[in-house]
Amino acid sequence: MARTTFSGPVVSQNGFIQGHQPTSLNAINTTGTATPAQVADGYITSTSAGTVTITLPTGTDLGTAIGAARGTVLDLFVDNTAGASVVTVAANTNAVLSSAGVDGSTANFGDLTIAAGATGLARFTLMFSSATAYTFSRTA
């Protein structure tokens, strides 16, 4: 099987991405909304001493930035291993917690907080239902 190399963010139409490597470390150390470019890159860090809430971009903004269509899947990693306080991920317009997250316990798909320190890593999977709307779940 041939190996293909991509430059920039890689978006999957079939839900399978192997070996995603972010193009930069996107630091968010104060409460605010992540840019579509930061989320599309797939890796956000926080090294804040204080609590940080990262609001995801709207479905329209992120969908437009990555050329999303129904079935587009994107993984977002949040790294708080160098932080000293909790990071929380928040929903936005047309960017909603999936039913797995809503129906599940806060110990799995619905856990939107990332602890500081050695266990402070989380993966969120964003799944587009249209070009301008997505759901997300914590998947690790």
**Is residue 27 scored above 70 in pLDDT?**
yes
Residue 78 lies in a domain: yes
pLDDT of residue 25: 77
Average pLDDT over residues 105-133: 86
Give the pLDDT confidence score for residue 127 in this predicted structure: 96
Res. 10: pLDDT tops 80? no
Q: What six digits make up the tokens of 19?
A: 């070996």
In a domain, 13, yes or no: no
The boundaries of the domain holding residue 133 are 38-138
**Residue 26 lies inside a defined structural domain of this protein:** no
Cβ(109)–Cβ(138) under 8 Å? yes
DSSP class of residue 129 equals: E
Within-domain flag for 55: yes
| Domain assignment of residue 9, yes or no | no
Q: What pLDDT is attached to residue 77? A: 95
Q: Which residues 6+ apart lie within 8 Å of 58 measured at CB?
A: 92, 93, 94, 95
In a domain, 59, yes or no: yes
Structurally, the chain folds into a number of domains equal to 1
| Residue 1's pLDDT band (cuts 50, 70, 90) | very low
94 within domain boundaries: yes
Express each pLDDT in 32-85 by its tens digit: 999 999 999 999 999 999 999 999 999 999 999 999 999 999 999 999 999 999
- Residue 101 placed within a domain: yes
pLDDT at site 22: 67
